[in-house]
Structures are given as structure tokens and as C-alpha cells.
Amino acid sequence: MDFLNAVLDIFTSESTYVNAALFGGLLLFAASGEWIAERAGTINISVEAMLLAGAFTSAIGYHLSGSAAVGLLAGAVGGVVIATVQAEMSHRLAADQFVVGLTLNILTVGLVGFLDRQISTTTQKAAVWEVPLLSDLPLVGTALFGQPWPFLVLYAIVPISWWLVFRTRWGLEVRASGEDPQAADVSGIHVNRRRRQSILYAGLTSGLGGAFLIFVQIGRFETGIVSGRGFIAIAAVIFGGWTLRGTVGGCVLFAGALSFRLSLQVLGYDQINSEFLQALPFLFTIVAMAVFATRVRPPSALARPFVRGLK
């Protein structure tokens, strides 16, 4: 009975939905770009580095200008810088994309940690914009329509990602590069160029996700601000079967697990082991991956480097 009461308290608390929206928003920024990169045939392990670089450069942008809009643009630039290195190393110099991604993650943590000690930034959350009527909806109104204004950018990013992949020639060429790069090459598509461009897009959205951390979720920069959520975004893409609808669903599900853990503590259910609660979202991610990863079909050429003339 105590467990059922706890569950009822959690699902009837507005803070549960606010926290889920904040966690889910971050995951969606990163996962929407990662979805395109994987449809092109690249597993972009450096999402974690892109988020962290975006958060740091957005903090610097705000510190120098006092504008959240400038900070948002600076965050996008930070993500694209990391993406450029990933793209050039993986799909121009043909270095192993996993090694490059892991190296960038480690390098970015060290570099940002060093720079953060040299540069003291002052940041704060952006102004809240409430959407009339919708923000008054019970439970989900504040969560979805009463957040700091950079949250609203998310409502454009997801449709734009879908439109790029399914309604443009570029998107058709990206999908062909991920499914059959040899056939795409024969038809005149520059496969590695499309893969590089898809990684740059992932860097753009992940950089915006890093800015989202600063201006919507936390309000200040810390070196541990990302805390493995880039890997959860990658897991959401795989969990969603490399479809945008499934990816959004995966982000919502994983965000719910993160919010559930936080809500248990906020509502005073302290008797549950805190270390277990800390690990719960990642445990949930592993279980979900184990159950669903074998039931979906990835792009045929996912994680396979393309060399012209080789199958």
C-alpha cells in the first residue's frame, strides 16, 4: 500500500512532469540530431562532448553578452566545433569513429575543466514564456508550455529534423548513405560528405542541448553538467528503432525514469537506497536496450566506414 501511495503521489505531482519535460527536452535536442547521423550510417559517440562543449560555450556567450539568445547561438557553435572534428576524422581521414568519439569525450571533459578554472562565468536561466491557455492545463501545462523560452526551440527542432530527412533530396541521400553506400555512390551521391553533414547537424542540435542545460534546466555551468545523458540520447535512438517517432518515445520514457528518481527524493521517500536511485535511470536504459535492441533493424551500413570500391 505504501508503494502504491508513493506511485500515486508521484504521478499526481506537477513537479514530476516538469522534471520529465526538462530531462526529455535535453535528450530530444541531442537525440534528434543523433537520429539523423545514425540514419546516415554513423554512430556518433561524441554526443556527450557536444553537449558539454555547447553548455560551456553558451555560458561564455551569456557571460560576455548578457543575452540568452547569444548564449544559445554560442552553444550551437560549440557543438558544431566538436562535430567538425568527429566528422573530419571519421569520414575524411577514415579513423575509427568509436575511437574518435571516445577520445573527444575525454578530451572535452579535460579541456573544459581546465578552461572553467581559468574563466569564471556568470549565468542564469532565461526568462519564462507562458503560452496562453496551454500553460494552464493541469499537470502538464507548466511542464510543456510554461518554461524558459529556449525550451520552445524544441518544438521547431523535432519537425525540422523530420522534414530534412523525409521531405528533402538531402534527406533521401542521407538515408541512402546509411542503407547502401555503394549504390548511393554509383548514383552520384557523395556518401562521406553526407555523413559529415549529418554529424554537423547532430553537433548543432547537441550544442543547443548544452545551452538548454544552462538556460532552462540548471542556470549555471558545472563540469559535470551532462552526467552521461549523451549516452542515454544515443540509447533512445536505438530504442526507438531508428525512427523519429520511436526516438521521441524513447526520450520520453528515459526522461520519465530520471524524473521518477528525482520525484521520490523530493516527495520525501528517503527510505529507498540513494545509490540505487542514482543508478536507476541508467539501469532502466540498459534493461530497455537489452529488451528492444534485438527487435529493431538498424540502417544496413550503420557504423561501417565507406571506402569507394570496397563492399
Q: What is the DSSP string of the chain?
A: -HHHHHHHHHHT-HHHHHHHHHHHHHHHHHHHHHHHHHHTT---TTHHHHHHHHHHHHHHHHHHH--HHHHHHHHHHHHHHHHHHHHHHHHTS---HHHHHHHHHHHHHHHHHHHHHH------PPPB-PPTTGGGSTTTHHHHHSSBGGGGGHHHHHHHHHHHHHSSHHHHHHHHHHH-HHHHHHTT--HHHHHHHHHHHHHHHHHHHHHHIIIIIISS--TTSSTTHHHHHHHHHHHTTT-HHHHHHHHHHHHHHHHHHHHHHHTT-TTS-HHHHHHHHHHHHHHHHHHHGGGS---TTTTPPP-TT--
Structural domains of the chain ordered from first start = 2-295 (1.10.3470)
Reported as a single tens digit per residue, the pLDDT across 278-289 is 676 677 777 776
Reported as a single tens digit per residue, the pLDDT across 61-93 is 999 999 999 999 999 999 999 999 999 999 999
Reported as a single tens digit per residue, the pLDDT across 162-189 is 999 999 999 999 999 999 999 999 999 9
pTM for the full predicted model = 0.92
The answer to which of 2-16, 24-38, 201-215 has the lowest mean pLDDT is 2-16
